[in-house]
Structure 1
Amino acid sequence: MLDYEAEAAHYDRTRGGVPRARAAAEAVLSLVPPGARTLLDLACGTGLVTERLVRPGLSVYGADAAHAMLRVAEGRLPGRTVRADARRLPLPDAAVDAVSAVWLLHLVPFAPEIVAEAARVLRPGGVLIATVDKDAAHDVGSDIDAILRPRRSAHVGSDTSAHITAHAALHGLAPTPGADFTGHGQGSSPRDTLRKLRGGYYASWFRGDAADIEALAASLAALPDQDRPRADPRYRLARFVRRG
């Protein structure tokens, strides 16, 4: 897993910036019930998405476990951020109307615990909105995808739709139609994919040793247009309603 204390300094610049954040926020808001008054954004990071969730009548808060990320987020949401583990939120039961988790569940081995905690803090009728199948969204149909997909397909990710839906049901969360959005600026080039592979960026699904990395590296290095980004991914948001 990446060191998000170190990532804070350049996170926004390397993750699609405002266009990606705006697309994510608009998709999340399309799934928030019209009468919702409070929304908690888990793993809010620098708050670039979180600040774009604010709208009249909806109080938005951000939570993150990384100090450096929260320092940036606090500048965007003064007095509306808290340092917290998404598995142990400093909130009473049935405290908020919506919980969002964008680009979180694929990073951790304890996604079911996050889903359970979200269910605990949601009021009846409240919604959990979360990205699912994140890794599978990248490089679809591209030459990079042809190399990486067999590895991804062999791994049951922590954020697969089926996995999250099954655990949501255990905690009174019923699936409803979701949404999708474009990950602007997130199309990968072969050279950048290789850098990420060697840097541990794909640790959530890659289980190879040094020899496996070098085998994949050779395949990626043989691709044409080493610095040309492939198509931007389409990320998927799942939506679950807290039963009364």
Structure 2
Amino acid sequence: MAETVLDYEAEAAHYDRTRGGVPRAEAAARAVLSLVPAGTRTLLDLACGTGLVTERLARPGLGVYGADAAHAMLRVAAERVPGRTVRADARRLPLPDASVDAVSAVWLLHLAPFAPEIVAEAARVLRPGGVLVATVDKDAAHDVGSDIDEVLRPLRSAAPASDRADLVTAHAAAHGLDPLSSAHFTGHGQGATPRDTARKLRAGYFASWFSGDPATTETLAAALDALPDQDRRRPDPRYRLASFVRRG
């Protein structure tokens, strides 16, 4: 679901525990690697966070690096991929043009109103034939077919999604990146409960969908409160990754 921008300095201490932990990270890493061509020697993981996915991308012959803008996140990541992390804004990477073979952006573009700039910067640092792998349509993967989805669908469908697949594809094309392939993976442990969703709604997590209007917030929260099985998790989301290749 779409969220307001979190304080990732504060989130670092419990980020992994509340985001599906190792099972989700392993599923994400496998999916990313399935879209990385054989012979890829360097991969930059943008917004790497605590490095839980970054660590699992490492393979013999593949040098994996992580970049993130949050100090606290990078402190954790540096323990997992020592010597291979850098503090950097994804829009201004401290790398030369055409310097890496692959760039991954897992759970990043949906958070960024400046997604076109991130795609442009990824294209800049990719070598010809290199690939960008990014999650797209993240919000659409949550609560599919569930009663929570029935409550929140009007907001979700009206909200602008910066990682919408057609928009990302257009940004990519504008910077010399052509569609290549796609893959899916399960967000283990990410299935929502009505009680937790109502709590997040009241805390302002989804305010970007409707400007945080108090009346709308309470109307939706009350509808979530009325759902059965308040603490039963609904199905885990199934995320989509899209890959794009840099023109030669």
| TM-score higher than 0.5 | yes
User: Which of 82, 91, 95 is residue 95 of structure 2 equivalent to?
Assistant: 91
TM-score when scaled to structure 2? 0.97
Aligned residues: 244
Whether 1:30 aligns to 2:34 is: yes
* Corresponding letter in the other structure for 2:118: I
Whether 1:233 aligns to 2:237 is: yes
* Corresponding letter in the other structure for 1:138: H
Q: Which runs of 5+ in 1 are unaligned?
A: none
Cross-structure match for 1:39: 43
Instruction: Please state how far the C-alpha of 1:178 moved relative to its aligned partner.
Output: 0.6
Provide the C-alpha distance between the structure 1 equivalents of 2:61 and 2:162, rounded to a whole number of angstroms: 34
Cross-structure match for 2:61: 57
* Aligned 1:64-75 pairs, distance under 5 A: 64-75=68-79
Instruction: Please state how far the C-alpha of 1:207 moved relative to its aligned partner.
Output: 3.1
Cross-structure match for 1:194: 198
Provide the C-alpha distance between the structure 1 equivalents of 2:169 and 2:79, rounded to a whole number of angstroms: 35
**Structure 1 range deviating more: 146-155 or 96-105:** 146-155
Indicate conservation of the 8 Å contact 1:106/1:204, yes or no.
no
**1:149-190 alpha-carbon deviations (Å, 9 max, x no partner):** 111111220000011011110000001121000000000000
Cross-structure match for 1:166: 170
Provide the C-alpha distance between the structure 2 equivalents of 1:217 and 1:200, rounded to a whole number of angstroms: 11
Instruction: Please state how far the C-alpha of 1:198 moved relative to its aligned partner.
Output: 2.2
Cross-structure match for 2:22: 18
**1:195-228 alpha-carbon deviations (Å, 9 max, x no partner):** 2222232245343411110011110000000111
Provide the C-alpha distance between the structure 1 equivalents of 2:139 and 2:69, rounded to a whole number of angstroms: 22
Counterparts in 2 of 1:97 and 1:203: CA distance versus 1, 3 Å = farther
Cross-structure match for 2:247: 243
What RMSD in Å do the two structures reach over aligned CA positions?
A: 0.9
Whether 1:132 aligns to 2:136 is: yes
Cross-structure match for 1:109: 113
Q: Which runs of 5+ in 2 are unaligned?
A: none
Provide the C-alpha distance between the structure 2 equivalents of 1:134 and 1:24, rounded to a whole number of angstroms: 13
Cross-structure match for 1:3: 7
**Structure 1 range deviating more: 202-211 or 150-159:** 202-211
- Percent identical: 82
Counterparts in 2 of 1:204 and 1:82: CA distance versus 1, 3 Å = farther
Counterparts in 2 of 1:54 and 1:136: CA distance versus 1, 3 Å = same
Indicate conservation of the 8 Å contact 2:206/2:212, yes or no.
no
SS in 1 for 2:72: helix
Cross-structure match for 2:152: 148
Provide the C-alpha distance between the structure 2 equivalents of 1:26 and 1:204, rounded to a whole number of angstroms: 31
Provide the C-alpha distance between the structure 2 equivalents of 1:133 and 1:205, rounded to a whole number of angstroms: 15
**Structure 1 range deviating more: 193-202 or 122-131:** 193-202
**4+ residue segments displaced more than 6 Å:** none
Provide the C-alpha distance between the structure 1 equivalents of 2:208 and 2:247, rounded to a whole number of angstroms: 31
Provide the C-alpha distance between the structure 2 equivalents of 1:229 and 1:117, rounded to a whole number of angstroms: 38
Whether 1:221 aligns to 2:225 is: yes
Provide the C-alpha distance between the structure 2 equivalents of 1:206 and 1:105, rounded to a whole number of angstroms: 20
* Corresponding letter in the other structure for 1:180: H
